Structure 1
Amino acid sequence: MKKLGLIIVGLVIIAMAACTSTKVTSSWRANGAQQLQKGNKIMVLALVPQKDRTLRGQMENYTVSELRKKGYNAVSALQTYGPQEFGKMGEKQVLQQLQGSDVSQIMTIVMIDKGREKTFVPNYGPYGYYGFWPYYSMWYTQWYSPGPGYITYNTKYQWEGNLYDLRSGQLLYSVQSQSFDPPTTERMAVLYAQKVVKDMAKQQLLVKR
């Protein structure tokens, strides 16, 4: 019985570790949206708080890298134009500048939200497998007379990616995702790029190699 309890604790730890990841929560492809041609240039533009410029570069660069693996001519807006890419330019000027650099589609990656969650984690073992009273008393203590434990703080990011066709102005694709307590922002950017580009292929937006 004790061995079974240890196995279950191990499975819980693995499940908790799996949550510290990035996943696509929903996505949408416009009716009639055509597959992206490999000769077209796709610009990736991340919009994050100014203080997170490093994260912006990571999100753009890894998404560009994943698109290039699929054979697409993808470029980073930060690498192309710098941090103040369009400054105080108007819509017409921006579109002319993008189209003048042969960009056909632009993919925006926006940090919709970033929050911190506080969680109390009680110190207890798999008492449910040792009888009614140990199990009951453990939970009674936790809910009515909190015992020892510790506080954890987890960071949760909400992302939205939109792919636009510059010539028509049409929204071709939209994807929502979340990243929960990533070990590093770089790891989050890697997973985001992999998940989103994989979803674009699933939505049949990308031509198979």
Structure 2
Amino acid sequence: MKKLGLIMAGLAIMATSACTSTKVTSSWRRNDAQQLQKDQKIMVMALVPAKDRALRSQMETYTVSELRKKGYNAVSALKEYGPQQFGKMGEKQVVSKLQGSDVNQVMTIVMLDKGREKNYVPGYMYQPYGYYGFWPYYSSWYSRMYAPGGYITYSTKYQWEGNLYDLQSGKLLYSVQSRSFDPPTTERMAVLYAQEVVKDMGKRQLLTNN
């Protein structure tokens, strides 16, 4: 019984860990936002902690790639200007520099939160049929209290917000919130993020279908 409980618990954890995902949780489009034109330039700019520069590069690169697959002229801010080009510049300087590079829209990708959760997995599987008799009930709770083999698992969660701005007017055109749970790698997370967000932009009719 104990071995069966351990096996079942292990399978449950394996199934949970296999369900890694990145999903859009909410999004919004400005009522008067026009569909993006393919001859206009979109700059993708990820904002993540400095120690996660590789993640910034991945988030920008794959979002740019997905937009380009749709035929849009998207570019990465990191590749165009480097990691700290805008750090000591004011609003007018930054906008002027971007407009000088023929940028029409800016899409920011911000890591709002990153958390790591610790979970204890006990070495038992609860038996609901224990209530139907003394011994099933007693043995079920006994194995629950004294079963060996418990272990600790960790899961990582990211929360993202993407905003699309019109550079000339400064207006927010589109905003999307998403969550990533236990990505196998940050690169895989960046790929899924880009796919889900660009798909949502299509649903919001910001992108053309052809």
By the TM > 0.5 criterion, same fold?
A: yes
Is the alpha carbon distance of 1:139 and 1:177 closer, same or farther for their aligned partners in structure 2, counting shifts above 3 Å? farther
Cα deviation, residue 20, structure 1: 1.5
Which residue number corresponds to residue 193 of structure 1?
194
* Mapping for residues 119-138 of structure 1, pairs under 5 Å: 119-125=119-125, 127-128=127-128, 132=132, 134=136, 137-138=139-140
SS of residue in 1 equivalent to 2:97: helix
Partner of 1:113: 113
Tell me what 1:28 maps to.
Answer: 28
State the match for 1:88 in structure 2. Answer: 88
CA RMSD of aligned residues (A): 2.6
Cα distance in 2, alignment partners of residues 16 and 37 from structure 1: 41
For the pair 1:72 / 2:60, whether they are aligned, the reply is no
CA distance in structure 2 between the aligned counterparts of 1:66 and 1:120, rounded to whole angstroms = 39
Deviation of the 1:15 alpha carbon: 5.0
- Separation of aligned partners in 1, 2:140 and 2:193: 39
Indicate if the aligned counterparts of 2:9 and 2:123 stay in contact, CA closer than 8 A.
no
Q: Which amino acid aligns with 2:187?
A: E
Q: Secondary structure at the match of 1:58?
A: helix
Contact 1:9–1:126 (Cα < 8 Å) also in 2: no
Residue 174 (structure 1) shift: 0.6
Match of 2:185 in 1: 184
Q: 1:63 is matched with which residue?
A: 63
Q: How far did 1:124 drift?
A: 3.1
- Aligned identity (percent) is 74
Separation in structure 2 between the aligned mates of residue 21 and residue 70 of structure 1, nearest angstrom: 23
Q: Which moved more, 1:30-39 or 1:58-67?
A: 30-39
**Pairing 1:166–2:176 present:** no
TM-score by length of 1: 0.86
Q: Mark the structure with the bigger radius of gyration.
A: 2
Give the C-alpha shift of residue 138 in structure 1.
3.8
Return the alpha-carbon distance in structure 2 between the equivalents of residues 159 and 120 of structure 1: 27
Deviant stretches of 4+, over 4 Å: 8-15, 125-137, 139-142, 144-147
> Secondary structure of the equivalent of 2:24?
strand
Deviation at residue 131 of structure 1 after TM alignment: 8.1
What is the DSSP-based 3-state SS (H/G/I as helix, E as strand, rest coil) of the residue aligned with 1:175?
A: strand
Aligned length: 202
Change (3 A) 1:207 1:148: same
Cα distance change, pair 95–130 in 1 and its aligned pair in 2 (3 A): same
Give the match's secondary structure for 2:184.
coil
Are the counterparts in 1 of residues 124 and 147 from structure 2 also a CA contact under 8 Å?
Answer: no
